[in-house]
Amino acid sequence: MNVSNCQSGLEDRAPADRHREHEYVLGHSERELDRLSVQAKLFEPFTRQLFEEAGLGPGMRVLDVGCGSGDVAFLAADLVGSGGSVVGVDRARAAITRASARAQDLRFANVRFVEGDPAAMEADGRFDAIVGRLVLMYYPEPADALRLLLKHARPGGLIIFQEFDATACKSVPASPTYERCMAWINQTFQRSGVRTQLGLELYGLFLAVGLPPSGLRMDTPLATGPVHPAYEVVAEVVRSLLPTVEKLKIATTEEVGIESLAHRLGKEVAASHGVMVAPSLIGCWARKPDTGRLFVE
């Protein structure tokens, strides 16, 4: 049993296989962790608005599910202030190591990180909020995972998740390079068991576990011109997926041309005076019922 888990109110336990996350197809290389931080800057305004609209605020104790490099945890820590605290949990040791080092560098005294699968940990039920961004999409049974995660929340606690809808991706006028990128990404995710449109399923998912949603919102990053962080994020997703892309015979390294991919994306969109629509982020939130039966069977 991990000592830091005990101090965080969480203990490891052996989960059933169907509650485990799929193997994270993007991996946890240093470059992938860097990509997550670039992506986090792109998504930060949308996640902040979601958290504020849902009611995340000063003094709360927050559990960040699938924390990665720590960006969502740091955002939550900023909102809860010095009187609150945040525990970030991730299965990948590399992610926890990176997040812990960043917390020290950024002087976040109210954040700590724990290695493990939060759906597979004993819970003390004392968190005021459970939050997660792009995490339920990696569970084979998101409803089962959400039921387990709810046990970490106190009665009346906030449950806030934000997931992708990749069906919204397009470019106008059409950018052939972007269209190919999204085809590679979506095929690889889907064949790896990742739910690329779970954002659209969040409302029903919450209802399925007895959480009448308090609200929904959708935000979509748009990219224009020759330089935009969205081009880099798309290209780096393809880079992280490339071993699986080749293994599944979806595309070859030569077809992808990874080293120039971000530049080609920006050049193509700019040349047509176009707009690139990134995957939509759909957020859903609710409060854990104070009394009565929580789960719908």
Least confident of 13-27, 40-54, 117-131: 13-27
Instruction: List, for residues 45-95, the tens digit of each pLDDT value.
Output: 999 999 999 999 999 999 999 999 999 999 999 999 999 999 999 999 999
Band (pLDDT 50/70/90 cuts) for residue 16 is very low
Band (pLDDT 50/70/90 cuts) for residue 247 is very high
Q: Does domain 25-287 have CATH number 3.40.50.150?
A: yes
Overall average pLDDT of the 181-205 stretch: 95
Band (pLDDT 50/70/90 cuts) for residue 27 is low
Q: What is the pLDDT of residue 263?
A: 98
Percentage of the chain modeled with pLDDT above 70: 88
Half-sphere exposure of 195 (CA within 13 A, CB side): 20
Q: What is the pLDDT of residue 283?
A: 98
Instruction: List, for residues 124-153, the tens digit of each pLDDT value.
Output: 778 999 999 999 999 999 999 999 999 999
Q: How far apart are CA 127 and CA 154, in angstroms?
A: 6
CB-neighbour burial class of residue 171 (10 A; exposed 0-12, middle 13-18, buried 19+): buried
Q: How far apart are CA 265 and CA 241, in angstroms?
A: 17
Q: How far is CA 109 from the centre of its chain?
A: 23
Does the structure show a pLDDT above 90 at 20? no
C-alpha closest to that of 119 among 91, 97, 159, 156: 91
Tell me what the pLDDT averaged over the chain comes to: 89
Whether the CB-CB separation of 15 and 120 falls below 8 Å is answered with yes
Q: What global pTM score does this model have?
A: 0.89
Band (pLDDT 50/70/90 cuts) for residue 7 is very low
Least confident of 8-12, 183-187, 227-231: 8-12
Instruction: List, for residues 250-277, the tens digit of each pLDDT value.
Output: 999 999 999 999 999 999 999 999 999 9
Q: How far apart are CA 256 and CA 245, in angstroms?
A: 10
Instruction: List, for residues 153-181, the tens digit of each pLDDT value.
Output: 999 999 999 999 998 899 999 999 999 99
Q: What is the pLDDT of residue 59?
A: 98
Overall average pLDDT of the 23-34 stretch: 72
DSSP the chain: --HHHHHTT-EE-PPPGGGSPPP-TT---HHHHHHHHHHHHHHHHHHHHHHHHHT--TT-EEEEES-TTSHHHHHHHHHH-TTSEEEEEES-HHHHHHHHHHHHHTT-TTEEEEES-GGGEE--S-EEEEEEES-GGGSSSHHHHHHHHHTTEEEEEEEEEEEEEGGG-EEES--HHHHHHHHHHHHHHHHTT--TTGGGGHHHHHHHTT---SEEEEE--EE-SS--HHHHHHHHHHHHHHHHHHHTTS--HHHH-GGGHHHHHHHHHHHTT-EEEPPEEEEEEEE--SSS-----
Q: What is the pLDDT of residue 25?
A: 67
- Angle, CA 160 vertex, CA 66 and CA 86 arms, to 5°: 55
Percentage of the chain modeled with pLDDT above 90: 79
Of residues 9 and 234, more confidently modeled: 234
Does the structure show a pLDDT above 80 at 13? no
